[in-house]
A and B are shown apart, each in its own frame.
Chain A
Amino acid sequence: QYPAGGSSTNPFL
């Protein structure tokens, strides 16, 4: 769902 190496911008994940 998120690009590899990228961090989630969703505080609930």
Chain B
Amino acid sequence: GDLHWVVKPEEKMKFDAIFESLGPSGGILTGDKVKPVLLNSKLPVDILGRVWELSDIDRDGMLDRDEFSVAMYLVYRALEGEPVPMSLPPPLVPPSKR
């Protein structure tokens, strides 16, 4: 569809830079590489667990570039005081996963 992804291009560039800095292997980051980054946000672990549930769209225990952007988006919004949704709203689903 022509639904715009809620992650803005300038945010995506920032998240992609963080993604690259974590040393993705084959274009994906494993859970143990992403976990410390999310823990760094100081958000409660149950919130981070939900962020992971929502962002690991194919549930393979790893995040690709777009899934990682969803995770970072949710973490930044949560830090601004917005609640993390219980399920992923359509505007948050990366165009590559629709």
Taking Cβ atoms with an 8 Å cutoff, the residues of A that contact B are: 9-13
Q: Check B10 for interface membership: any CB of A closer than 8 A.
A: no
Taking Cβ atoms with an 8 Å cutoff, the residues of B that contact A are: 31-32, 34-35, 38, 45-46, 48-49, 52-53, 56, 59-61
Report the nearest A residue to B47, measured CB to CB.
Answer: A12
User: Roughly how many angstroms separate A10 CA and B59 CA in the complex, as a whole number?
Assistant: 8
Please report whether the interface of chain B is mostly helix, strand, loop or mixed according to DSSP: helix
| Contact residues in B for A9 (Cβ distance below 8 Å) | 31, 56, 59-61
Give the top 5 A-B pairs by smallest Cβ distance, nearest first: A9-B61, A11-B31, A12-B49, A11-B35, A12-B48
User: Roughly how many angstroms separate A13 CA and B59 CA in the complex, as a whole number?
Assistant: 14
| Contact residues in A for B59 (Cβ distance below 8 Å) | 9
User: Roughly how many angstroms separate A2 CA and B86 CA in the complex, as a whole number?
Assistant: 16
| Contact residues in A for B48 (Cβ distance below 8 Å) | 12
B52 to A: closest C-beta gap in Å = 5
A6 to B: closest C-beta gap in Å = 10
User: Would you list 10 pairs from A and B whose C-beta atoms are within 8 A, ordered by A residue?
Assistant: A9-B56, A9-B59, A10-B31, A11-B34, A11-B35, A12-B35, A12-B38, A12-B46, A12-B52, A13-B49
